[in-house]
């Protein structure tokens, strides 16, 4: 059993985990239990840290009990270890201060010293180490580099051994280091691209395909962020865009990706309008950020919202009508569409969502989260990305 520390928008994070690992349940408001043998955190956009559950304490308000359990468990486990252990401690939702948290490490360090084992304790500035600190110290990436995640749930506290933290430095480098960027067409974050790809679930390669991997189509590819992240995850990728400039930008970025990361992927690009393009087969999955309309710095007037919403709905409906007959039944489709937030924090959605079956698609239902919560947005944003997870019928 593993536990995952979810990202800024936990509903998206747990949905990604559910589609990737199937057996997932909430443990707290921002953590989830995942019934799996391993988690590859670098392929998850919505998980900050993950860890293998070591033990559970049936108490949520007795820090001494938790502290004693940690010292007893790891004094025994590491008592005969030959070498130095780097140890970090992170607490989530637990009523403990930094001093008492560090005290656990110091007590454990003293006990192990008496047995001939050695610990280098990473100092805490806060009760939880940042993902950057965890990754910088390679915690969870070797047997002698350990971060204990101490996480409070409803009726218990879990202690887990980290299996890695999200490499935010690498994500930023891929986002900011690629040669072609264009703020005007929107800046899809690589983490969100990873989430969207994983929301497609298991992607099966067409048995008649000559490609070595399943192929993902992005019909609104822009500068190629989704193509980039899908390539790094091992997929063949296929991008089209109405703007010739965007095809050039995607080509430059994919060439840069192959050169920088020293790998070869299978990719294909061409110019085309998503409402009438005939895509080359095979298409094993579709993952795309569609047309989001114009940006707004403040909620628009009702008249303006009605205009923009209608325009977006028309374009995306046309795209889905064009797409459906070109896909086999059961093909996963994950698209980001716009939703607009008003001054009260309420969202206005596209009309097509209520009639998606009439376009030949079925919306995937999740055990862990309602589909209407699959919204990616920041507090100051008016236009959110609503993620529709569909299958072709």
H or E element at residue 226: helix 225-232
The DSSP call for residue 142 is B
Which pLDDT belongs to residue 117?
84
CB 362 within 8 A of CB 356: yes
CB 236 within 8 A of CB 267: yes
Mean pLDDT of 369-384: 94
Q: What is the pLDDT of residues 10-21, one digit of tens each?
A: 999 999 999 999
Mean pLDDT of 203-207: 95
Strand partners, 236: 215
Alpha-helical regions (H) of 262-375: 302-323
The DSSP call for residue 58 is S
* Predicted confidence (pLDDT) at residue 183 exceeds the cutoff of 80: no
Q: How far is CA 376 from CA 127, 316, 330, 340, 345, in A?
A: 28, 18, 25, 11, 14
Which CATH number fits the domain 174-392, given the four candidates 3.30.750.200, 3.40.50.620, 3.40.190.10, 3.40.50.150? 3.40.50.150
Strand partners, 24: 34
Q: What is the pLDDT of residues 188-202, one digit of tens each?
A: 999 999 999 999 999
Please identify, in words, the CATH class of the domain defined by 2-166: alpha beta
CB 231 within 8 A of CB 257: yes
Which pLDDT belongs to residue 88?
97
Which pLDDT belongs to residue 252?
96
Average of per-residue pLDDT values in the chain:
95
CB 287 within 8 A of CB 200: yes
CA 139 from chain centre, in angstroms, equals: 20
The three-class DSSP label of residue 250 is helix
Which pLDDT belongs to residue 185?
65
CB 204 within 8 A of CB 79: no
Strand partners, 3: 33, 51
Task: State whether the Cα torsion 371-376-379-380 is positive or negative.
Answer: negative
Domain ranges for the chain: 2-166, 174-392
Which pLDDT belongs to residue 82?
87
With a pLDDT cut of 70, the percent of the chain lying above it is 99
Name every residue whose Cβ is closer than 8 Å to that of residue 314 and which is 6 or more positions away in sequence: none
């Amino acid at each position: 059993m593993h536990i995952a520390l979810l990202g800024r928008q936990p509903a998206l994070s747990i949905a990604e985990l559910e589609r990737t690992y199937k057996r997932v349940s909430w443990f707290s408001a921002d953590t989830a239990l995942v019934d799996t043998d391993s988690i590859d955190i670098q392929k998850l956009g919505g998980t900050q840290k993950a860890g293998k559950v070591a033990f559970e304490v049936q108490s949520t308000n007795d820090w001494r009990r938790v502290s004693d359990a940690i010292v007893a468990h790891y004094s025994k486990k590491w008592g005969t270890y030959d070498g130095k252990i780097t140890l970090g401690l992170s607490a989530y939702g637990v009523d403990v201060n930094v001093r008492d948290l560090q005290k656990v490490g110091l007590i454990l360090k003293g006990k192990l010293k008496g047995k001939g084992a050695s610990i280098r304790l990473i100092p805490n500035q806060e009760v939880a180490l940042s993902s950057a600190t965890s990754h910088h110290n390679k915690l969870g990436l070797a047997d002698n580099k350990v971060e204990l995640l101490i996480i409070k749930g409803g009726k218990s506290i879990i202690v887990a051994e980290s299996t890695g933290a999200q490499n935010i430095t690498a994500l930023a480098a891929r986002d900011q280091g690629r040669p072609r960027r264009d703020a005007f067409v929107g800046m899809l974050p690589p983490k969100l691209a990873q989430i969207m790809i994983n929301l497609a679930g298991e992607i099966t390669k067409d048995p008649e395909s000559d490609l070595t991997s399943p192929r993902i189509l992005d019909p609104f590819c822009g500068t190629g962020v989704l193509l980039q992240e899908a390539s790094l995850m091992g997929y063949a990728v296929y991008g089209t865009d109405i703007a010739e400039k965007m095809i050039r930008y995607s080509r430059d970025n994919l060439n840069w990706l192959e050169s920088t990361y020293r790998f070869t992927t299978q990719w294909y690009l061409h110019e085309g309008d998503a409402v009438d393009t005939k895509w080359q087969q095979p298409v094993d999955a579709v993952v795309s950020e569609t047309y989001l309309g114009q940006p707004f710095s403040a909620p628009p007037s009702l008249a303006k919202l009605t205009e923009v919403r209608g325009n977006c709905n028309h374009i995306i409906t046309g795209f889905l009508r064009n797409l459906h007959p070109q896909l086999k039944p059961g093909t996963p489709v994950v698209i980001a569409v716009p939703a607009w937030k008003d001054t009260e924090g309420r969202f206005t959605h596209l009309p097509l969502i209520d009639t998606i079956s009439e376009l030949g698609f079925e919306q995937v239902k999740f055990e862990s989260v309602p589909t209407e919560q699959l919204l990616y947005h920041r507090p100051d944003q008016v236009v959110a990305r609503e993620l529709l997870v569909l299958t072709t019928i």
